[in-house]
Structure 1
Amino acid sequence: MANVMLYNVIVMGFSFMFLFTAFQTSSGIEQTVIESIDYDNKTSEHFGGSGYYSQAIIYGVFAFSNWLAPSVVSLIGPRVTMLVSALVYTGFIAIFLQLKIWTLYMMSVFLGFAAACIWTAQGNFLTINSTSETVGRNSGIFWAMLQCSLLFGNLFIFFEIGQTNTTHIEASQRQTIFIVLTSVSGIGVLMFLLLRNPKQYQDNSNQDIQVVSQDAEVKRGPLEALISAFKLLKKPHMLLLMVCFFYTGLELTFFSGVYGTSVGNTHLFGLKSKSYVALCGIFIGCGEIFGGATFGLLGNRTNKFGRDPIVLLGFITHIIAFYFCFINLPSEAPIKDVDVQGYFPPKLALALVTAFLLGFGDSCFNTQVYSILGYLFSKDSSPAFALFKFTQSLAAAIAFFYANQLMLQWQLLILVVFSVLGTLSFAMVEWTASRKFREGYESI
């Protein structure tokens, strides 16, 4: 059964890699694409849409849909949930082939609900295919495979638009990009069909370890799954973890939408500044992959010292990255195209190093969040991951709403404050709840 469980983790990793190669690439260039459409239409009707607002709608609906997602997963199972949700992702990407403002915002709503379902199902499926010994390893493997999506998708974008000396993405390029991305997303959908149904697993070499099977989750019933999510909110350690969850949502918005747009809007980088949006995405992906692979391969060793040192490493990495952003980019870059410098003339090399640090720091936080949730809440994995995604996506929605309004320095200040609070809250849970769990206490 151990081979089947590892097989499921790897296949799910490939499925998400293809699906999010398409989606994360689309998200990363969404605001730039809409600005390019407005550039093409400058003598005619203004498009009127906003990539920031589209993402805010996605994450806002995503947040509150997480309260219903455990019920959906419980009703139809994690495998079917992921398959159906992936179809919605593909539909969202396809609308960019003939983009209209009403389809953009309508599909953003649908995608928000699908995102809640697919991530709750993913957390549930990862947990039921892991043991307490393998959950850290499996989290790292999945995270590294998932973040390959940033690498592959942005490499394609960079070579597609990096050869032109224009400050926008032309219509023919946009058509080619989204035909390819829709096809890649379709491959991800098909790969979900290869997942197997895990069975109860018992490790006789050490101790009896119960891994909740898909069938057991279904028997809980959708109403009971919703009630379980509310019950988890009463646990003090879940409330502490939600501070860390909130920070991961803020920094998700920054690295996935704000940072690349800011680099692309800084015209002092040169005529190819828009192509550097994709280049930054590549380096963010490299940081994510390096972090996920490191903590996956060394999961057994790092867990001996606890999860908090890795989160502390992520905190330090992000503080350095935020400082580099502050000195390298103009304050108005998240909002509009600018021809002025920040505190120093912008340097592309420093921007790419910053991108790598943002990705690596994000992998530090997220791999350990996945690990601690799977470890402490293995019997309530579906509602636990739903609460994680609720808090993270709510923070992301808030951040996307203010991303188009606040200067860069104020966005960075918010990130610094919540990075401190999130790191401290995670460490408190690791020091207390994990120790009690190992000692056999139930009331964590």
Structure 2
Amino acid sequence: MTCDESKFENTYSQASCNGEVEFESMASTIPGEEETPLVAVDARNSNSNSHSWDIHILSLAFLLVFLAFGAAQNLQSTLNTEADLGTTSLGILYLSFTFFSFFASLVVRLLGSKNALLIGTTGYVIYVAANLKPNWYTLVPASVYLGFCASIIWVGEGTYLTSAARSHATDNNLHEGAVIGDFNGEFWAVYALHQFIGNLITFALLSDDRQAGITKGTTLLFVVFLFIMTFGAILMVFLRKRSVNGKGEQELADAGACASLKTLSKSLASALSDIKMLLAIPLIAYSGLQQAFVWAEFTKYVVTPAIGISGVGSSMAAYGAFDGICSLLAGRLTSGLTSITTIVCVGVFAQAVVLILLLLNFSISSGFLGTLYILFLAGLLGIGDGVLMTQLNALIGILFKHDTEGAFAQLKIWQCATIAIVFFFAPLISFKSMLVIMLAFLCFSVCIFLWLALKVGKTPSSSSSQRL
């Protein structure tokens, strides 16, 4: 046997160059060779599974935190009506959210995505607790702080999920775009259930006393919500830490405040100078507009007059159920820009149907059928929201690989800016005017998005981009 053969087999002891070798005990050598690959395979599988488990934990934690906040948010325009306290507090919340989103990517880089998620949950707990005694001195400060927490928790979520998806695809040699779609589909499907579960709890615990003109059970409702949110916050602790874009958080922290701010400004400027981001912004802005419409206008002017304040829970539960189902299906069908474009068109059509029906003032006044009609409209709105949230997050993850935090910060900036505008200016315009604005903006944003799809599809790297 030659020296090369002895090296290849790795079972021989050191030998002389004339080819003479000495065998070690085969009984001790062979088991050692069998054990090494087994340990490596187990470690790889364990690491691969951990990416999926992180998404399971992340999704469940967000569900528990947001089922309370989402239900509380839906009730603001109907419970806290004195001097428009509810809608004004939400306007302040999303204005704060918009402002802090400019710095959210820097904060997430310095804290790390996991720590950003943990800190972010505190704002939601404080806001729900403020609803136990709602007034200008509790809700407004809680709204400002929640704006900061929301900015970092959502940028942290987007970067954490995208990082986990890319790692999972790399470890398993899988199609990256499909994995990003799958992970976003799972997250947004579970997250969308917060509307279903949270509003079912609202429906079960709240009751209208029409003679006294009050709603009973609000204190019990918010206490239950605080307990559930606490458990969701605890789940965040079990997430693994992740380093985004290959940069360690300590390295960024050591760079200094001045250098960090320069990096932040370059990141934001780079995102805004990117034609892909500019073309995506209108649809991002519409996604925020339609959410604010559901939370404030739809519940106040469509649901409450038809089935009462307690009916807000059942209608928003239907909204959340269709939102979750559609998010899961849309995520499973996502593989690249072409599939994203097709799925977005389906969601846009569903929302356009609702806006047109409301503009035509079409309604069914009879009791049971009237309730079913409201649930039908809520379901269509849920389908549209599930599509937009899933596909926009997948689109950001696919198109902006080199500055994930900055891209997701832009996503939240434009979403929250439009949400804040709705909450501040909706009381100043009629419901029909809001519907006209939404339908016109929907048509405009879809046309720009289709332009984006055509532009990216025609680039020389389009084939690889769609397979990311």
Shorter chain as denominator, the TM-score bin is 0.7 to 0.9
Pairing partner for 1:27 from 73, 79, 86: 73
**Is 1:417 equivalent to 2:418 in the alignment?**
no
**Is 1:6 equivalent to 2:60 in the alignment?**
no
Question: Percent of pairs identical after alignment?
Answer: 24
**SS of 2:233 mapped into structure 1:** helix
TM-score (normalizing by structure 2):
0.80
Pairing partner for 1:241 from 252, 271, 280: 280
Q: Provide the C-alpha distance between the structure 2 equivalents of 1:167 and 1:405, rounded to a whole number of angstroms.
A: 29
Q: How does 1:34-433 map to 2 (within 5 A)?
A: 34-35=80-81, 47-131=82-166, 132-133=176-177, 134-162=179-207, 169-170=214-215, 173-198=217-242, 212-213=245-246, 215=248, 219=252, 222-223=260-261, 224-266=263-305, 269=306, 273-300=308-335, 303=336, 305-328=338-361, 345=365, 347-433=370-456
* Residue matched to 2:63: 17
Deviation string, structure 1 residues 368-412 (Cα, Å, up to 9, x no partner):
111110001022110000001101100111111122222221111
Paired residue total: 399
Give the counterpart letter for 1:366 in structure 2.
M
| Contact 1:318–1:357 (Cα < 8 Å) also in 2 | yes
1:214 positional shift:
6.7
**SS of 2:114 mapped into structure 1:** helix
**SS of 1:348 mapped into structure 2:** helix
Change (3 A) 1:278 1:123: same
Compare the two structures and name the one with the higher helix fraction: 2
Change (3 A) 1:226 1:6: farther
Between Structure 1 and Structure 2, whose CA radius of gyration is higher?
2
Give the counterpart letter for 2:267 in structure 1.
S
Give the counterpart letter for 2:342 in structure 1.
P
**SS of 1:99 mapped into structure 2:** coil
Q: Provide the C-alpha distance between the structure 1 equivalents of 2:74 and 2:229, rounded to a whole number of angstroms.
A: 15
Q: Provide the C-alpha distance between the structure 1 equivalents of 2:407 and 2:62, rounded to a whole number of angstroms.
A: 20
What are the ranges of 5 or more consecutive residues in structure 1 without an aligned counterpart? 36-46, 200-210, 329-341
What are the ranges of 5 or more consecutive residues in structure 2 without an aligned counterpart? 1-46, 167-175
* Residue matched to 2:170: none
Q: Provide the C-alpha distance between the structure 2 equivalents of 1:227 and 1:93, rounded to a whole number of angstroms.
A: 36
When the two chains are superposed, the root-mean-square deviation of aligned CA atoms in Å is: 2.3
Change (3 A) 1:379 1:34: same
| Contact 2:161–2:183 (Cα < 8 Å) also in 1 | yes
| Contact 2:76–2:86 (Cα < 8 Å) also in 1 | yes
Change (3 A) 1:177 1:434: farther
Give the counterpart letter for 1:371 in structure 2.
A
**SS of 2:273 mapped into structure 1:** coil
TM-score (normalizing by structure 1):
0.84
Q: Provide the C-alpha distance between the structure 2 equivalents of 1:327 and 1:260, rounded to a whole number of angstroms.
A: 18
| Contact 2:185–2:390 (Cα < 8 Å) also in 1 | yes
Deviation string, structure 1 residues 111-134 (Cα, Å, up to 9, x no partner):
111111111111111111113231
Change (3 A) 1:136 1:34: same
* Residue matched to 1:41: none
Change (3 A) 1:29 1:432: same
1:324 positional shift:
2.6
| Contact 1:70–1:226 (Cα < 8 Å) also in 2 | no
Q: Provide the C-alpha distance between the structure 1 equivalents of 2:104 and 2:452, rounded to a whole number of angstroms.
A: 25
| Contact 2:319–2:378 (Cα < 8 Å) also in 1 | yes
| Contact 2:331–2:391 (Cα < 8 Å) also in 1 | no
Change (3 A) 1:435 1:365: farther
